[in-house]
Amino acid sequence: MTVLLALEGVTKRFGGLMALKDINFTISEGEIIGLIGPNGAGKTTCFNVISGTLPPSDGKISFCGKTIVGLRSNRIIRMGLSRTYQATSVFPKSTVLENVVRGAFSRSEDTFLGSMLGTRASKAAQARERDRCMAILEQVGIQHVYNDLAGELPYGYQRRLGVAIALAGSPKVIMMDEPAAGLNPEESKAMGQLIREIHSSGNVSVLIVEHDMKLVMGICHRIIVLDHGEQIAAGTPEEVRNNPHVIEAYLGTEVVG
């Protein structure tokens, strides 16, 4: 299996707080990996240092064999590494379709000058891009609201729009930060199904942070567990579920189901 994303000795300090301590893992082609841990364990921070939102304090991060530490977020998206956000993050006053087109902008074939001049080649490229974005909306099941304002969508649809925006970057790896947060059990199950479909139909590897253990245990090939910034376990869902360190970390917070 080809390794796509690799973290080696990644550390992140916020003043005196070690939010990540010596994190090491890889994601290969075709994998769905879970990143779990109690609140404040460092999961979102891990996404932030991978996606270029925050610089790591130490360690190496490579994507497709190239180091990505120090690269800007847009450059990392263009390389094929996209993410969704824990809090819904859409442009509320733009339509659903416009939000996805913005997500696609980084990979657009259109040139800035061409689009300013409105050339025929540019118009054709824009039409192709629009069709591609509509197909993505269809894939996530919200094509029927493409013209609605993103800020007025029901919450469950906003979560799906976040996934569509990330998919618009044509990722090789998609990182999802709590895609099922705030969803009811039925919607959460449907989100799990959508993630499976994205993985199988687009040959996309997935790194998922999620508190819904049923979802994580059901779709992940491997799971990495963080607690207080430390990687305390890694293995198959079965191994992780039975790991005493994991059970201890979760005691008093929630049950690893």
Check residue 44 for interaction with Mg ion (CB under 5 A).
Answer: yes
Binding marks (x or -) toward ligand ATP, 101..140, rule CB under 6 A? ----------------------------------------
Region of residue 40 (left: phi > 0; alpha: psi -120 to 50; beta: else): left
Tell me the residue ranges of DSSP E strands in 15-126.
17-28, 32-36, 58-63, 66-67, 81-83
CA distance 36 to 246: 10
Check residue 45 for interaction with ligand ATP (CB under 6 A).
Answer: yes
CA distance 146 to 203: 25
Q: Which does 37 bind (CB under 5 to 8 A by kind): Mg ion, ligand ATP, none?
A: ligand ATP
Minimum CB separation of residue 86 from Mg ion in Å reads: 5
The footprint of ligand ATP on this chain (CB under 6 A) covers a number of residues equal to 12
**Sign of torsion, CA 209 213 218 222?**
positive
Minimum CB separation of residue 43 from Mg ion in Å reads: 5
Work out which of 30, 40, 114, 141 binds ligand ATP, going by CB under 6 A. Answer: 40
| Structure tokens that stand for 47 in this block | 């996404």
| Structure tokens that stand for 219 in this block | 């779709």
Give, as ranges, the residues between 217 and 256 that touch ligand ATP (CB under 6 A).
Answer: none
Minimum CB separation of residue 44 from ligand ATP in Å reads: 3
Minimum CB separation of residue 29 from ligand ATP in Å reads: 26
Q: Which does 39 bind (CB under 5 to 8 A by kind): Mg ion, ligand ATP, none?
A: ligand ATP
From the list 209, 190, 247, the residue with the least C-alpha distance to 36 is: 209
Q: Residue 147 carries which side chain, given as an amino acid letter?
A: N
Minimum CB separation of residue 41 from ligand ATP in Å reads: 4
Q: CB nearer to Mg ion: give 26 or 86.
A: 86
Check residue 37 for interaction with ligand ATP (CB under 6 A).
Answer: yes
Check residue 88 for interaction with Mg ion (CB under 5 A).
Answer: no
Give, as ranges, the residues between 5 and 24 that touch ligand ATP (CB under 6 A).
Answer: 14, 17, 19
Tell me the residue ranges of DSSP E strands in the chain.
3-14, 17-28, 32-36, 58-63, 66-67, 81-83, 173-177, 205-209, 222-227, 230-235
Point out which residues bind Mg ion (CB under 5 A).
43-44, 86
